[in-house]
Structure 1
Amino acid sequence: MTKDMTSGSIPKHLVTFAIPMILGNMFQLTYNAVDAIIVGHFVGTSSLAAVGAANPIMNIIIFFIVGICMGTSVLMSEYFGANDIGKLKREVSTSMIVGMIFTIFMSIACFFLAEPILVITQTPSEIIPEANIYLKVIFSGLIFTFLYNIYSSTLRSMGDSKTPIIFLMISSVLNIFLAILFVVVFKMGVKGAGIATVISQFVSCALCIVYVYIRMPILRFKRSEIVVDKTLLKDTINYSWVTALQQTCLYVGKLLIQGSVNRLGVNSIATFNAVTRIDDFVLTPEQSIAHATTTFVAQNRGAKKRERIRKGFYAGMIIEAIYWLIVAGPVYMGSGSLMKLFVPDSGAEVIGLGVIYLESMAIFYILPGMTNGLQGYFRGMGDLKITLASTFIQIVVRVMCSYLLAPNFGIAGIAFSCLIGWIAMLAYEIPAYFRHKKNLKLYLKRRN
């Protein structure tokens, strides 16, 4: 079901759009975390560390694909807000065809480069074989990742955040059962966890395709409509490339940070794998709120409704702050219990290191909420260079600080490197927002 955000209650639009995304992403994170929990408890700390070392590499590729889909969704939201359905369909067709070709080439390249990348990132030699197997399995299913994300981005651009999330929830539950089956019952180790994830991605992708064909006539294409529109291709590449670079920049930074953690030993690697999963649970809702802001702003940009853009941004930032107030206390007070989900009681050192990290991060989480809100606004306005530049600044500062602080402060140094990186990011974004706000009227005229 589509939703026009160019009229009606602004907070209601943002909340009702964000909540399904939050719930669905929580399910996705749950099945990602299930891999770590099952591997940690039933295979061992070494295998947990292998999955942890593989995750940043995997995320670089996956979120590059996600970035491509995010970029095209901004254009789709604009065309939908302007009620230009013909242009919307041509944009969907163009991004689908070009994206599939690109993803296939990327999947092949990553499959063969997995092990060399693990070596370059100074992954301990004893966990490279398992990490390599896990990555090869995940990379084999990248086409399903792309198809799910392009279909879900298209639906979200039209105001439907519920449907793709329902399919994601179904696949998440499936992944839990498959992970238990392959890892615990069939004793397939990290390879089994990877296979469970790929099968689940295929299911979410297939459900999206079937739903669009049956229930969304507006997105049902005739053979003559399946084209690459050369007039839209340039904007599609520009938007997709910048958002993909932004996502890649973020996860390349995380990969480099993983390198600083790898030097601290297997226990620290296992700790970092666990706490980053918890970070994801906290930060993903902030990102979902920002995505709601992006869709809202982009639709109203297409409709040229300046005042609703301003009010929508402010409402999004308030929701981000409220969310932080809700989540900070439970993370701080329950850090030990959260770590025990990933590591059995015998892993006392890993649990202790995780508590140190999480108690600091619980306080710091307000900052990424603010940066996400600002990024949601800039994406919706189509000013993606600001989002790329601010992410680049944050990552450079964060990586530098992690290598400076980790040798002396261990895992706590990684937490404080996040804090410094987010502060640097806000120092760039806030002045940029006020400049942008001042010129908003002229900006809209220029973009439209």
Structure 2
Amino acid sequence: MATDMTNGNISKHLIKFAVPLILGNIFQLTYNAADSIIVGRFVGTDALAAVGTANPIMNIVIFFIVGICMGASVLMSEYFGAGNIKKFKREVSTTFIAGFIFTIIMIIICMILTKPILRLINTPEKILPDAAMFLRIIFFGLIFTFLYNIYSSTLRSIGDSKTPLIFLIISSILNVVMDIIFVVFFKWGVAGAGMATVVAEMLSSVFCIVYVYKKIPILHFKKNEFILDKFLLRKTINYSSATAMQQTCLYVGKFLVQGAVNPLGIEAIATFNAVNRVDDFAFTPQQSIAHGLTTFLAQNRGAKKKERVKKVFVEGMKIETIYWTILVVVVYFGAHNIMNLFVPDKGSKVIEFGVKYLELMAFFYLLPSWTNGIQGYFRGMGDFKVTLISTFLQISTRVIFSYLLAPRMEIVGIAVACLLGWIVMLAYEVPVCIKHRRAYNV
């Protein structure tokens, strides 16, 4: 169901839009979390390390695709908010055609380069075959990742964040069930975990497509409407490339950080895999609130409602900060129980390392809540360069200090490197944000 955000209560719109988005992203994260928990408990530490080593590489590719869809959705929101339905539909068709072709090319390249990339980050030979197998299965399913994300981004651009959530809940439950069947009962190990994820992603994309063509008339296309508009393609590439590069920059950084963790040994790799899952769950609501800001701002910018644009940033930052006050309590006091989800042995070094990391990060999570809010503002205002530059500064700082601190402080050094990266990011973003708001009188 489409939602016009150019009228009505700002906070209510933001929360109503963000909550389903938060839940949807959390359910999407259960794909990887279920893989890690089930693999760690029923296959072993080596398998958990293999999945953990593969994940940063997988995320670079997946979030490049997500970034393309996210950038295009800003244009969709702008045209929808302006009431220009013809241009809105042309943007959807252009993004779909170009994105589909690009994803096929990505699949071919990734399949070929799997093992060379794993060796580039010093993946131990002991876990290399499993990590490569897991990645190739995931890469094969990238077409379903694109289809789900383009349809869900389109629905969100018209204010419908509930429908993608429903499909993700269904597919996430199926993913966990298939993980148990493939890994626990069939004993297919890491390959079974990858297959469960791909099948679940396929189902969520099918659900989205069927729903759109049955329930959303505005997204029905006649044969002559399904075209590649060259003018819009250039504009979409301009928006999407910056967003995709920003998303990719973030995950290339995580990929490089993995290279700093790998020499610490298999237990450290397994720990890093587990705590990365927790980080993902912590960051997702922050990012979802920011995406709500982006859609809200883009619609109101298209409708030329400056007063609403002015107020929404403050409301969004308030919600981001309130979320962190809940998060810090849950993560700090629940660190032991969280790590026990991944590793049942309470005396394991993986748990010891993980608890140290999470107790620090619980407090550090405040900073990315603010950086996400600011990035949501700039995306909604159509200024993607700031988000790209700030992400590059953050991840560069994080990578440099990971390599400097990890040999001395082990996994704690990785947490401190994150903190330093976010400090540098805010040092750049805050003055630019103040200047931008003054210039646009918002």
User: Smaller-chain TM-score range?
Assistant: over 0.9
1:336 corresponding residue in structure 2: 336
- The answer to whether the 8 A contact 1:31-1:173 is kept is no
Distance 2:89 2:146 in 1: 18
Structure 1 residue 330: deviation in Å? 1.5
1:427 corresponding residue in structure 2: 427
Structure 1 residue 377: deviation in Å? 0.3
Structure 1 residue 347: deviation in Å? 5.5
- The answer to whether the 8 A contact 1:296-1:380 is kept is yes
Deviation larger for 302-311 or 271-280: 302-311
1:179 corresponding residue in structure 2: 179
The one-letter code of the counterpart of 2:286 is E
Aligned alpha-carbon RMSD (Å): 0.8
Residue 127 of structure 2 aligns to a residue whose secondary structure is helix
Q: After the TM superposition, which residues 304-383 of structure 1 pair with which residues of structure 2 at under 5 Å, given as runs?
A: 304-345=304-345, 348-383=348-383
2:238 corresponding residue in structure 1: 238
- The answer to whether the 8 A contact 2:340-2:346 is kept is no
Distance 1:107 1:256 in 2: 22
Residue 260 of structure 2 aligns to a residue whose secondary structure is helix
Structure 1 residue 31: deviation in Å? 2.8
Residue 125 of structure 1 aligns to a residue whose secondary structure is coil
- The answer to whether the 8 A contact 2:293-2:312 is kept is yes
How far does the alpha carbon of each residue in 1:255-292 deviate from its partner, in whole angstroms, 9 at most, with x for none? 00000000110000000000010111111000000000
Distance 1:322 1:15 in 2: 12
Structure 1 residue 324: deviation in Å? 0.3
Q: After the TM superposition, which residues 193-272 of structure 1 pair with which residues of structure 2 at under 5 Å, given as runs?
A: 193-272=193-272
> How many corresponding residue pairs?
442
Distance 1:390 1:339 in 2: 31
Distance 1:187 1:112 in 2: 27
Structure 1 residue 321: deviation in Å? 0.2
Distance 1:27 1:65 in 2: 18
Structure 1 residue 372: deviation in Å? 0.1
How far does the alpha carbon of each residue in 1:302-323 deviate from its partner, in whole angstroms, 9 at most, with x for none? 0111111121111000000000
Distance 1:344 1:173 in 2: 22
Distance 1:29 1:85 in 2: 33
Structure 1 residue 334: deviation in Å? 1.0
2:71 corresponding residue in structure 1: 71
Distance 2:90 2:30 in 1: 35
- 1:189 aligned onto 2:189: yes
Distance 1:154 1:106 in 2: 22
Structure 1 residue 233: deviation in Å? 1.1
Distance 2:28 2:173 in 1: 9
Distance 2:105 2:342 in 1: 35
2:292 corresponding residue in structure 1: 292
The one-letter code of the counterpart of 2:125 is S
Structure 1 residue 30: deviation in Å? 2.0
The one-letter code of the counterpart of 1:165 is L
Q: After the TM superposition, which residues 131-146 of structure 1 pair with which residues of structure 2 at under 5 Å, given as runs?
A: 131-146=131-146
How far does the alpha carbon of each residue in 1:42-78 deviate from its partner, in whole angstroms, 9 at most, with x for none? 0000000000000000000000000000000000000
How far does the alpha carbon of each residue in 1:195-243 deviate from its partner, in whole angstroms, 9 at most, with x for none? 0000000000000000000001100000111100112111011111110
Deviation larger for 85-94 or 432-441: 432-441
Distance 1:29 1:61 in 2: 16
- 1:405 aligned onto 2:414: no
The one-letter code of the counterpart of 2:140 is S
Structure 1 residue 301: deviation in Å? 0.6
1:119 corresponding residue in structure 2: 119
2:19 corresponding residue in structure 1: 19
The one-letter code of the counterpart of 1:236 is T
Structure 1 residue 346: deviation in Å? 5.6
The one-letter code of the counterpart of 1:368 is P
The one-letter code of the counterpart of 2:261 is V
Distance 1:377 1:223 in 2: 36
Residue 3 of structure 1 aligns to a residue whose secondary structure is coil
1:29 corresponding residue in structure 2: 29
Identity of aligned residues (%): 65
Query: Which residues of structure 2 form unaligned runs of 5+?
Result: none
1:49 corresponding residue in structure 2: 49
The one-letter code of the counterpart of 1:155 is L
- The answer to whether the 8 A contact 1:243-1:384 is kept is yes
